[in-house]
A and B are shown apart, each in its own frame.
Chain A
Amino acid sequence: MPVSVTNSHVIYDALRAVDVRLVSALPETWLVHLIRMAEDDPEMILVRLAKEEEGVGISAGAHFAGVKSAMLMQNHGFLASVNGIVSFAQLYKMPLLMLISHRGDLGELDPWQTQGGMVTLPVLRALGIPSFPLTDPVTAPRIIRQGQALAESALTPVALLLTRDLMWEEAS
Chain B
Amino acid sequence: MTDTARMRRADALAAIYPTLAQEDVVVVTIMGAVAVELYNLGHRPGFFYLEHAMGLASSLGLGLALSLPHVPVVVIDGDGSLLMNLGTLSTMARYHPGNLTHVVFDNESLLSVGGFPTATSTGTDLAGIAQAAGVPNVRRADTVESFAAAFDDAFAGNELATIVAKVEAVGPKSFHMDLPMLENRFQFWRYCRELGSRAG
A contacts, CB < 8 Å to B: 22, 45, 47-51, 53-67, 69, 83-84, 87-88, 91-93
Tell me which residues from 55 to 101 in chain B have a Cβ below 8 Å from any Cβ of chain A: 55-68, 85, 87-88, 90-91, 94-95
Contact A45 B66 (CB under 8 A): yes
Question: A48 — nearest CB in chain B belongs to which residue?
Answer: B94
B116 CB within 8 Å of chain A? no
Query: 6 closest Cβ contacts across the A-B interface?
Result: A61-B63, A57-B59, A50-B87, A65-B67, A57-B56, A58-B63
Total number of A-B contacts with CB less than 8 angstroms? Answer: 112
Chain A residues near B63: list those with CB within 8 A.
22, 47, 57-62, 64-65, 69
B113 CB within 8 Å of chain A? no
Contact B52 A54 (CB under 8 A): no
- In the assembled complex, the Cα of A49 lies from the Cα of B86 at a distance in Å of 12
Question: A64 — nearest CB in chain B belongs to which residue?
Answer: B192
Contact B66 A22 (CB under 8 A): yes
B197 CB within 8 Å of chain A? yes
Contact A47 B66 (CB under 8 A): yes
Given known contacts A48-B91, A91-B53, A66 and B185 CB-to-CB distance under 8 angstroms: no
- In the assembled complex, the Cα of A66 lies from the Cα of B57 at a distance in Å of 18
Question: B66 — nearest CB in chain A belongs to which residue?
Answer: A45
Between-chain CB contacts (< 8 Å), 30 pairs: A45-B66, A47-B63, A47-B91, A48-B91, A50-B87, A50-B91, A51-B87, A54-B56, A54-B59, A54-B87, A54-B88, A56-B56, A57-B56, A57-B60, A57-B63, A61-B61, A61-B62, A61-B63, A61-B66, A62-B64, A62-B66, A64-B60, A64-B189, A64-B192, A65-B64, A88-B50, A91-B52, A92-B185, A93-B182, A93-B185
B contacts, CB < 8 Å to A: 48, 50-68, 85, 87-88, 90-91, 94-95, 181-182, 185, 188-189, 192-193, 195-197
Question: B68 — nearest CB in chain A belongs to which residue?
Answer: A65
- In the assembled complex, the Cα of A93 lies from the Cα of B181 at a distance in Å of 10
Contact A58 B192 (CB under 8 A): no
Given known contacts A56-B53, A88-B53, A93-B182, A47 and B193 CB-to-CB distance under 8 angstroms: no
Contact pick for B56, options A64, A65, A69, A88, CB 8 Å: A88
Contact pick for B60, options A48, A60, A67, A93, CB 8 Å: A60
Contact A47 B95 (CB under 8 A): yes
Chain B residues near A48: list those with CB within 8 A.
91, 94
